[in-house]
Structure 1
């Protein structure tokens, strides 16, 4: 498979699946855009294994097989990609840019935790999970952006990943609970007297006042992580900053809506309309040029 065809396959996956991230990815110059699509495509594959319909044992085997192929890619470069378009594109991207492919191992570890049904007693435990599944993507993206001060930028990219994942968790409370997953820490559920149990309609059944207090408490934490993570933007070139600002801006808008009205996530999966995402992306372009 040619490198060009491999990149196009990754771009198609990104166009089809990255409903929020694609708005930011489009703002990157071609080489960085291709690299980011390759990263997204492999991350999507890993997530799809964890969220798919296979028995847990098969999911764990598939994750281990993916980790082994990734190790081959890191060791052998393009020779380790074989005919897999995602790995072909990723090998080329890693040859062009300082992308730390080892960070995918953390994403795989996070997906293993999902498959095993792991729950979290404390917020610190949840943050560790967020660093695995989203902070890892922040660090991979940093290799694409290639900032002048990577050591200074790395913890900020990690923090922004945590903020995005906390937003995801709040947005998907009902959907995750329907599949048996609970991410919010047990200590926080106990503190606010919530269980995240479902009623006969499949909606979250906790009393409105308790539920709202819990969601707003977690949203405030996420906002703190955004405040830390967005300090990354001045360290990036203007198009990389615009890409990051667009991605983060969409998720921050979701978080603000959830914080203002926690009831919106009780019975549905919240999303922004395409027009709202486009406005965020346009503002990000302006910001990146200032």
Structure 2
């Protein structure tokens, strides 16, 4: 097996382990594009893991940033298979370098005691940690059409990250993170203590639904230009969006229990959604 093949295989194993939803959707891509997506996902996962699991995340993230800038100059550790795969991707596609830098910046936001006062603050965070992924993938999924798809690609990132936030409220609380904007808490007279006490009362459900409706609006906006994607990537992108959107209904079906349950779309439901895409 060649070094590049080994590198791509490792990247595939990473996405298969950590994101069954994305893996299922993007498995529909042609071989070369599929491998490239795996490599980009590995980069994003690496940054995410540094922040969530690193022993000294701030220093490790700074070091990773230095490594990325060196990589862009062609200087990287050949024993790090992620860089080997990503180097091949950068040679094959006209990648958006700034989106990679913005992703690192977004992950750094989780290292401070950041308070999200308004929804715009949450969307700024969502751009950096999620919309950037879409911008990284556009040159792979729709080469030459990036400028036409950029805005709605950003919208899809907003939608997916808001979905993540709404699904992971309990998990984030355990990490000392809160992405619900302060003005919504004030609007519905719901307190931080209510959150800590896991009160899924009427006020909580109202907050959750207001954010969910915003997410669904961004999903709808992202579908406006879906027809501009090449045929080979249209179904995977739309599939990823629909699979993620379905998480919101899973939460609703479980009475908004986001404190003690991690919500997933079942394998059967995933297959039904994918097969329904025209």
Q: Note whether the superposition's TM-score is higher than 0.5.
A: yes
Q: Pick from 223, 227, 241: which aligns with 2:216?
A: 223
Rounded Cα–Cα distance in structure 2 between residues aligned with 1:222 and 1:251: 11
- The answer to whether structure 1 residue 72 and structure 2 residue 79 are counterparts is no
Give how far 1:257 is off: 3.4
Q: Pick from 146, 166, 184: which aligns with 1:150?
A: 146
Give how far 1:33 is off: 0.4
Counterpart of 2:207 in structure 1 is 214
Counterpart of 2:198 in structure 1 is 204
Cα distance change on mapping 1:163 and 1:86 into 2, 3 Å: same
Deviation per residue, 1:144-185 (Å, 9 max, x gap)? 113443211111111101100000000001111121110011
Give how far 1:219 is off: 0.6
Deviation per residue, 1:33-56 (Å, 9 max, x gap)? 0100000011111111111152xx
Give runs of aligned pairs for residues 9-158 of structure 1, distance below 5 A.
9-52=10-53, 54=55, 58-76=56-74, 79-158=75-154
Rounded Cα–Cα distance in structure 2 between residues aligned with 1:248 and 1:197: 33
Cα distance change on mapping 1:262 and 1:101 into 2, 3 Å: farther
* Counterpart contact for 2:171–2:259, Cα < 8 Å: no
Give how far 1:252 is off: 0.8
SS of residue paired to 1:205: coil
Cα distance change on mapping 1:233 and 1:147 into 2, 3 Å: farther
SS of residue paired to 1:50: helix
SS of residue paired to 2:113: coil
Cα distance change on mapping 1:265 and 1:91 into 2, 3 Å: same
Rounded Cα–Cα distance in structure 2 between residues aligned with 1:188 and 1:135: 23
Q: Cα RMSD between the aligned structures?
A: 1.8
Give runs of aligned pairs for residues 134-283 of structure 1, distance below 5 A.
134-197=130-193, 204-205=198-199, 208-259=201-252, 262-283=255-276
* Counterpart contact for 2:42–2:82, Cα < 8 Å: yes
* Counterpart contact for 1:6–1:85, Cα < 8 Å: yes
* Counterpart contact for 1:147–1:153, Cα < 8 Å: no
Cα distance change on mapping 1:143 and 1:262 into 2, 3 Å: farther
Counterpart of 2:4 in structure 1 is 3
Rounded Cα–Cα distance in structure 2 between residues aligned with 1:147 and 1:197: 48
* Counterpart contact for 1:98–1:146, Cα < 8 Å: no
Give how far 1:71 is off: 1.0
Rounded Cα–Cα distance in structure 2 between residues aligned with 1:102 and 1:246: 26
